[in-house]
Structure 1
Amino acid sequence: MATTATVPAQETKKAPLVLTPQAIAKVREIMATQDPIPAGLRIGVVGGGCSGFQYSMAFENQGGMMDKVFSFDDLKVFVDATSLMYLNGCTVDYVETLEAAGFKFDNPQVKSTCGCGSSFNV
């Protein structure tokens, strides 16, 4: 009988992306309302939108084998290897204005965005 070992996600000290204190606080606030409380946040880049790529954020209970795990004030952030190359140098902030509130990605690699601002191209 063959057994398979699960390789834990690799924890990395220096993150290629930045989460602002406002983003960290908002993620923690939302995580506290989840049942069960997730282990961390997954940030990624997925294909889609009129410009080619979109950012994705979701709660995770466990990272994947090929994930990099970054710690922001003890908040675990999981990033897959493919997304990592698109997120290098990116800053994730949480912004509240009179018109809207949400997470804002400031990515120096982005060459263009769509008219509605929900997708980008590198």
Structure 2
Amino acid sequence: MINLTEKAAEKVREIRDAEGLGEQGLRVRVIGGGCSGFSYDLFFEDETTDLDQTFESAGIKLYVDMMSFQYLEGVEIDYVEGLHGAGFKFVNPNAKSTCGCGSSFSA
């Protein structure tokens, strides 16, 4: 299961509404790269495949491919604002280490 905090869900709705994307869901995936080996990737999407895991959290549909799911199971996605900027923060119990910016991890 992947969870969005209410603050993250509000930000997703705000962005989706501003871009006129209707009720599209959020694709959450892991891609190779970043300073720690893997990076998180988020984008809006309305199409899934039979190989996707589909969740709903805080009223937002989430789509995760099978490859990414093994790294994302149990992840909580929050939205934070601070002195270093604002963005989505991943709290990943599967990560062995993360980089300083929080956008990449190693498993």
Indicate whether the TM-score tops 0.5: yes
Matched residues, number: 107
Q: Does 1:72 align with 2:83?
A: no
- 1:92 aligns with 77
Which of the numbers 26, 29, 47 marks the counterpart of 1:41? 26
| Consecutive unaligned residues in structure 2, runs of 5 or more | none
Deviations 1:55-83 (A, max 9, x none): 00000021222111111233111111111
Q: TM-score, normalised by structure 2?
A: 0.89
- Deviation at 1:98? 3.1
More strand by share: 2
Q: Does 1:25 align with 2:10?
A: yes
Partner SS for 1:69? strand
Q: Percent identity?
A: 50
| Consecutive unaligned residues in structure 1, runs of 5 or more | 1-15
Partner SS for 1:103? strand
Partner SS for 1:32? helix
- 1:4 aligns with none
Alpha-carbon distance in structure 2 between the residues aligned to 1:17 and 1:64 = 18
Alpha-carbon distance in structure 2 between the residues aligned to 1:75 and 1:43 = 12
Contact 1:93-1:103 within 8 A present in 2 as well: yes
Quick check: which has more Rg, 1 or 2? 1
- Deviation at 1:93? 0.2
Flag as ranges the 4+ runs of structure 1 deviating above 6 A. Answer: none
Contact 1:41-1:76 within 8 A present in 2 as well: yes
Instruction: Let me know the Cα RMSD of the aligned residues.
Output: 1.6
